[in-house]
Chains A and B, each alone.
Chain A
Amino acid sequence: MTEMRRILQLARTDFSYFFRTKWLMAVLLSLNLSDMLVIGLVYKGLMTVNYFAFFAPAVVVMGLFMGSMDTGRRIWLAFREGVIQYYLSLPISNLGVVAAYLIAGSLAAMVYSSSLLIVAFLVLPAQAVLNTLILLPFFFILAMGLAGIAAALAALASTHGEFFFAYQQLFQVLLLTLSTVYYPQSVMQQYLPSALVTVASANPLSIAAEALRDFVFTGIPIQPLVIVQLVVSSVPFALLGAFAYYKALQTLQTKGKL
């Protein structure tokens, strides 16, 4: 069996683990759906923009974010349950273990956010199904970046699960606040310094949400520059996360603990 097949085997196992915490998935989905259906409808009457059309992509991106972040929870569980040491004894390299987790995390996030996208389509029919299909691989790269960040947070939290969830919340607040996921850029410009607005527009979550709004829900032809921006802003996250997780495995091998 080749290294690549082992990576895929490990990724498949981790991917299936994502769907075994059904209660957690149900809670996350219900939170996202209630956001989309209830809050969206309330704000629709209060704002000048069609807030539901604005909000549905936000929830899909949020789903991608939550699904990716679950990679960190599973890594933390693997540390806690000693499964990481088991992985380190299997015929797969440390880099292979890292790659498997990122692939599984990205796949899980894609499936999770795609299910939200399908729900959103029931209410707002997609005007560009082809655009959606074109965007999905690039969303996979974004999911890998976010999974990388989750891996880094899990490594940082060591065996203290509560720290991981605290770090995740902090990261979530920072990344979502400084983004155009929930607020239009025009609104942000009224309240935030221009430097922060620039950061928000470069945020990969903003780019993804805007891409969904423009290319999927509005049907504007896809602009390659946006795709490049999405990839360029996501890849560093994936590399950083992969590096952090790899270092965590090395620390585990050297110290016997994190």
Chain B
Amino acid sequence: MHPIETEKLTKLYGKTKALRELDFTLDEGEIMVLLGPNGSGKTTLLLILSTVLKPTSGKASVMGFDVINQSTKVRQVLGISFQDARGFWRHKPIEILRFHATICGVPRDRRERLIEEILKDLELWDARGKLFMHLSGGQAKRLEVAKLLVQRPKLAIFDEPSSQVDLRGKRIIWDHICKLREDGSTVLVATNEVREAEYLADRITILDEGVKVACNTLQSLKDSIAGGDIVELEFEAKDNKDMAEALGRLEGTFRVTKEEENHLRAYVSMAEEWVPKMANICYQKGVKVVSVRVTEPSLDDVFLHFTGRALGAASS
């Protein structure tokens, strides 16, 4: 049994298709990142899984419970941190966390200590007595994340957990999410931030216009781009015409370009396998290599490869 399983999951808002027959699974104990631009269906998927929305068609289950027919059971095993912070405007952060912890069944003896610890870690302790409506955007967002960190559900769902949060705060939140996974929770994170995805993901699912276009580990996604790795080679000698031809024939080479007299650039698949082969050829030909620099494709490149659009452009 997967913690999350969807089968042909579809959601329509009027005539707009937010999700199109999505098949999606999540493995126990992993952090899965849903990556996609605004409007790709990430939030809709999370809201369906957390029973806030009902699908138009298809099936979805959480920890074996059907999200439509067993919604109360589903709510008992998961927690969601919403994209926009949800709170009672006239309640204080500490009261909001107490309410959340109590209704989610956090034992009384651990509740207060846990709340204090999380508030301090997320730098909200000084703001614990402020009304929710007086919190800054970043503080409200951190409070939203804090609810799940106090609840520690079996399945934790975060929708853009560090949006509106400063760099320091982002790092703290990401570390807490990783710790949540280490403590036994399965985590699903939706984001359109490349750095967040790279920091957190065990696996990444790329969603675009309600369709899953790729799902794998970050490294596998990068490796799946033919010619995605760039190897810059600098030779001692200036005339290296034979080398360009020889490297071009190597398995895994996409193309080789000559940048300068003693400088070649090779576009290859899986540079970690290609570089030893290249070194072997250089040795056989007696060519001295001054430097080798390998550049992997970024997650942006991965997104571009699978969707035909850059992530930044798609989000805007």
Contacts and interface: CB of A to CB of B under 8 A. Distances in A.
Interface of A: 1, 3, 6, 9-10, 13, 17, 20-21, 77, 81-83, 85-86, 88-94, 253-256
A253 B53 contact: yes
B86 A81 contact: yes
A254 B47 CA distance: 11
Interface residues of B, number: 28
A175 B10 CA distance: 45
B191 interface: no
A256 B13 contact: yes
B86 A85 contact: yes
Contact of A89 (B44, B75, B87, B88): B75
Contacts of B44: 256
B283 interface: no
Contacts of B80: 89
Interface string B76-90: 101110101011111
A118 to B, nearest CB: 26
Nearest to A1: B105
Interface of B: 13, 44, 47, 50-54, 71-72, 75-76, 78-80, 82, 84, 86-91, 99, 102-105
A20 to B, nearest CB: 4
A91 B72 contact: yes
A68 to B, nearest CB: 20
Q: Interface majority SS on A: helix, strand, loop or mixed?
A: helix
B54 A82 contact: no
18 contacts: A13-B91, A17-B91, A21-B90, A77-B89, A81-B87, A81-B89, A85-B52, A86-B87, A88-B52, A89-B52, A90-B75, A91-B72, A91-B76, A92-B75, A92-B103, A93-B71, A253-B54, A256-B13
A216 B52 CA distance: 47
A231 B64 CA distance: 43
Contacts of B52: 85, 88-89, 253
A86 B72 contact: no
A86 B82 contact: yes
Contacts of A77: 89
